[in-house]
Amino acid sequence: MRKLCLSIVGIFLFCFGGWSQSSSSSDDYKNLNLKVEDVNIVSGYYSQNGNHSAVTGGIGTQKLTDVSNTIDMKLVKYDILGRKHNFNIEMGLDHHTAASAQYVSTTGASRAGGTRFYPSFNWQVENEEKKTTFGLGASLSSEYTYHSYGLNILFAKKSKDENREFTAKGTLYLDAVKMLEPSELRPATTTVITSASSNGHSGGDNIPSSARNTFDASFALSQVINQRMQVAFLTDGVIQQGYLGLPFYRTYFNDGSVHIENLPGSRLKLPVGMRMNYFLGDRIILKSYYRFFMDNWGVKSHTVSLEAPFKITPFVSISPFYRYYIQTAANFFAPYGMHTSNDQYYSSDYDYAAFSSNYEGINLRLAPTNGVFGAKGFSALELRYGHYRQTTGLIANNITMNLTFK
């Protein structure tokens, strides 16, 4: 045990010894005016199908489509002390249709579409002499049945030679879940409400909400290994408290009775991950990622992914990628009609089932120096397509496009 402790102490002393290494200071001209550094537009289309909808108790269609659009703008300015200020403003809008949402009402009369709006703002100030960064941010996410307010604080420190960086971030989400219950389980006073996801549906303000609070402490350590390789170690400690289920997810017991899923009121999550990128030769990059996850609900998972960008030219690359994921079931999960009245917690949501998944696809990136398609300012175009399969039978396709303007 003593050797183990000494090894850990040794590694950290070795890591943090790098802070004292010297490097030349920068006397570059600092622009005191606020200027736009880049603008990103990300658009995505996602579709899935399966036969284990949680709305109908673990059976029934999981057909769902989602169209998402976000635009973010990064602005930069230096202050008179030479510190660099980054401002990041983002607006996002998603629209989804979920076939199962119709069955919040037993007649299938509920509306299946919904829109989510999620702006965010982040500010970071970087002291290039001290190699430190401090940041604050706020976010909002609003949809018919769910509202969320987020706050975050960040601190980062680079070593003098900028070969190592440690980042700590704390994030707090204060969420509210509207208690929209399946029609047959709903109190008679709120029977007018039939939709899980439509905006502005009459009477929606009368539905009570339950709180869900999440606190995440996130840590990352990145390290340059040599001129071709760098690694990052990532971990989060996440505590969630409040109403953690969704009120329109049904669970059928073995006696034929139907109930709203009942999940524990708190959850502790601990993911630990590592990324390693290696530039092989002049054209190929190997990007690898591994994550181990565990929580106090009984879920353990492993995630491995590998992506290999191949540079056709210095400005055009094509990247095949593959991801494998496997998880154990949560303690309270059971399929349709398998729970008993003795169960304290119960759910037939297959997101908590034991399964494995495969995700593979391809990424195309164009970033010519004279602009994409010769358009000055249009600095990069990325297209990414992936196909996802779960052993539960769920199949999904996802396509995303990212346009970058500078």
Partner 1 sequence: MKKTLLVLFGLTLMFGACTSVKPYQKSRLNDSEMQLTARKVEKTENSFQTYREASSGANGGKTGGGCGCN
Q: Coil, strand or helix: which one is 102?
A: helix
For residue 54, count other CB atoms closer than 10 A to its CB. 23
For residues 259-288, which are near partner 1 according to CB under 8 A?
Answer: 263, 267, 269, 271-273, 275, 277, 279, 285, 287
Q: How far apart are CA 141 and CA 107, in angstroms?
A: 30
DSSP at 82: S
Length of the chain, in residues: 406
Quick one: 182 or 245, whose CB is closer to partner 1?
245
Kindly tell me which of 63 and 275 has the beta carbon lying closer to partner 1: 275
Contacts (CB under 8 A) with partner 1, residues 347-366: 351-352, 357, 359, 363, 365
- 13 CB burial (10 A radius; 0-12, 13-18, 19+): exposed
Kindly tell me which residue out of 309, 366, 372, 378 binds partner 1, with binding defined by CB under 8 A. Answer: 309
Nearest CB to partner 1, comparing residues 257 and 358: 358
* Whole-number Cα distances in Å, 283 to 28, 280, 314, 317, 368: 32, 7, 8, 9, 16
Of 36-65, binders to partner 1 (CB under 8 A) are 40, 42, 44, 46, 48
Q: Residues 83 to 112: which contact partner 1 by CB under 8 A?
A: none
Instruction: For residue 70, give the H/E element and its range.
Output: strand 64-78
Burial class, 263, CB count within 10 angstroms (exposed 0-12 / middle 13-18 / buried 19+): buried
Task: Among 93, 258, 338, 367, indicate the residue that binds partner 1 (CB under 8 A).
Answer: 367
Pick the stretch among 8-16, 79-87, 129-137, 251-259 that binds partner 1 (CB under 8 A): 8-16
Among 2, 4, 80, 205, binds partner 1 (CB under 8 A): 4
Q: Minimum distance between the CB of residue 138 and partner 1, rounded to whole angstroms?
A: 11
| Residue 173 sits in the site that holds partner 1 (CB under 8 A) | yes
Looking at beta carbons only, is 32 or 270 nearer to partner 1?
A: 270
- 208-227 residues near partner 1, rule: CB under 8 A: 212-214, 216, 218, 220, 222-227
Residue 86, C-beta contacts closer than 8 angstroms, at least 6 positions apart: 37, 74, 75, 76, 122, 123, 124, 125, 126, 135
Q: Is 345 in the site for partner 1 (CB under 8 A)?
A: no
**369 counts as binding partner 1 under rule CB under 8 A:** no
Hey, which residues between 225 and 254 contact partner 1 (CB under 8 A)? 225-228, 230-232, 234-236, 238, 240, 244-246
What stretches of 144-224 adopt beta strand conformation (E)? Answer: 146-158, 164-178, 209-224
Dist. CA 237–CA 171, nearest whole Å = 11
